[in-house]
Structure 1
Amino acid sequence: MYSVNPQAAAAWTDLFGWLARDSGVELDVIAHAFPLPLSDLWSRSDLACAFMCGFPFMLAAHRPRPVAAPIPAKAPTHGRPVYATRLLVRADSRFATVEDTFGGRVGYTVADSHSGYNALRHHLVPYYRQRGARLYRDSVGPLTTPRRVLDALSAGDIDIGPLDSYALDLMLRHEAELATKIRIVGTTDPAPAPLLVAAPDCPDEIVTRLQATLATFAEAPACAGLRDRLCLDGFAPVEIDDYELMLRWDAEARAAGYAEPI
């Protein structure tokens, strides 16, 4: 999910290498990038540690085992494993606010994404209630990944698009030039960050060792460079009840008759 560019992908490989060494759990790092479905990754029986969005986690009939939640260095609430969605437009566009984009084209990632769909709807529901009508002439998707949201903006295929705030932090950390190409015109309310999960049948001993090692990441001297490269302060225990927020936002949007972000 967060291998948003080659530099970030290399940093994650290094992190999982450290995790394997310090935990004593043998981990094979596998490449699972677009267009491969994330659902295929999450359903692997040998999964030990992979990111999963909280929304599909809560919707899953057989949930994976929670391992840990990341604490982004620029989390909306400092020191907490939370994130938000940045609503982006092109830097050279005429749009100054989210409202300015109404009547245009909005992008989304996938319908079971929190940052790229559920949070976007939640942010737009008050406007929908006020207007009593659709906000955009077209809803463009599934764009699937943060990178493809940026590509759609750049190509002029959409006027506004949602981007996971932590994914954007990683992109800007390694691609500073992006800051000249996009503007943030809105930010959603914070929500629990995507969590690291293991397969439902992953042994207790493995999950416990991974959790204990990830808990040391924030202070481990060997990880100082990784914390910078990954824009991470550390990892926290997963509080599953916090993720109920995502189901509430979904229910509220549907109750308002706003099933899609248009």
Structure 2
Amino acid sequence: MPLVANARMYSATATARADWKTLLAWVLERAGLDWLVIDYDAPAPLSALWAREDLGLAMMCGLPFSQREPRPTLIAAPVPSPARYGGRPAYFTDIVVRADARYERLEDTFGGVVGYTLADSMSGGVALRDHLAPYRAAHGSRLFRHAVGHLIHARGVIEALAAGTIDVGPLDSYYHDLLRRHEPDFARQVRTIASTVARPIPPLVATAALSADELARLRDALQASTRAPALHDVTERLLLAGFDVPDPADYDVLARIALRDDLPTFEEL
């Protein structure tokens, strides 16, 4: 059976989804690999996708990548084009509130309701808990009166904010930027009041065994994709400057954060 490719993590809109499929198909063709670009749409759990053993080229959250044994093969990581990424394969968690909310600082949201995507998501859960941990320690008691989880993805966070279900929540910054690029009216329902420090961005990985030649061809094709005239409009719409090959050990920090003894749960925040 052929291996599969997927970019569900950053298929923030229908346009982005189609563009990622176009880019992945181009990469596989250039690499000479007869694999399948598959659909895997929300609300299907990403954890089930990442548990598959037939992934040849799939985006994976950096936290499960750092925790999985055996660790998947890191093929490459996207480099977003907006200036705040500094030409690095990095991202942030944007902490957002409803656009018309009275809050000006993160501290202003304390006492309200915090939302999150999934407890095991780095950008949508763990990074927010890590960012809030010093506030929780200084405060000595809960910061929020309630937490609402299982919002699945950044769209769910924005929808919950717009509906008034939560007062503050986390967005993967690259996903957030793609929403602002392709669905500005939807994205304008929220505004950012804080952002976390930069962390290694979710990489493209393989859980299946790849030969050294296949790995080299994939990396060459990914790096060529952002220079290919045929994909110029695609990569521009994806806010994609290129692909880098970070050291897999760069992601170890994410596992260390998740295992910290002093990291509060959302029930403790």
Q: Same fold (TM over 0.5)?
A: yes
Partner residue of 1:5? Answer: 13
Name the TM-score, length of structure 2 as normaliser: 0.91
CA offsets, 1:17-46, max 9 Å, x none? Answer: 211221111231111112211122122232
Query: Measured at CA, do residues 19 and 35 of structure 1 come closer, stay the same or move farther in structure 2, by a change above 3 Å?
Result: same
Q: In 2, are the aligned partners of 1:62 and 1:200 still within 8 Å (CA)?
A: no
1:227 to 230, 235, 255: 235
Unpaired runs of at least 5, structure 2: 1-8
1:173 to 178, 181, 203: 181
- How far apart in 1 are the matches of 2:122 and 2:254? 7
Deviation, structure 1 residue 78: 0.9
Partner residue of 2:246? Answer: 238
Moved more, 23-32 or 187-196: 23-32
2:169 to 161, 177, 197: 161
- How far apart in 2 are the matches of 1:46 and 1:76? 34
Partner residue of 1:105? Answer: 113
- How far apart in 1 are the matches of 2:165 and 2:212? 47
Deviation, structure 1 residue 75: 6.0
1:68 to 62, 67, 76: 76
Unpaired runs of at least 5, structure 1: none
1:25 to 24, 27, 33: 33
- How far apart in 2 are the matches of 1:117 and 1:124? 11
Deviation, structure 1 residue 257: 5.3
Partner residue of 1:192? Answer: 200
- How far apart in 2 are the matches of 1:61 and 1:37? 19
Q: In 1, are the aligned partners of 2:119 and 2:149 still within 8 Å (CA)?
A: no
Deviation, structure 1 residue 138: 0.8
Query: Measured at CA, do residues 75 and 191 of structure 1 come closer, stay the same or move farther in structure 2, by a change above 3 Å?
Result: farther
Q: In 2, are the aligned partners of 1:107 and 1:162 still within 8 Å (CA)?
A: yes
Deviation, structure 1 residue 246: 1.1
* Mapped pair 1:55 → 2:63: yes
- How far apart in 1 are the matches of 2:215 and 2:33? 9
Partner residue of 1:205? Answer: 213
- How far apart in 1 are the matches of 2:55 and 2:257? 29
Q: Which amino acid aligns with 2:265?
A: A
Query: Measured at CA, do residues 75 and 33 of structure 1 come closer, stay the same or move farther in structure 2, by a change above 3 Å?
Result: farther
- How far apart in 2 are the matches of 1:202 and 1:42? 16
Partner residue of 2:133? Answer: 125
Moved >4 Å (runs of 4+): none
- How far apart in 2 are the matches of 1:165 and 1:26? 33
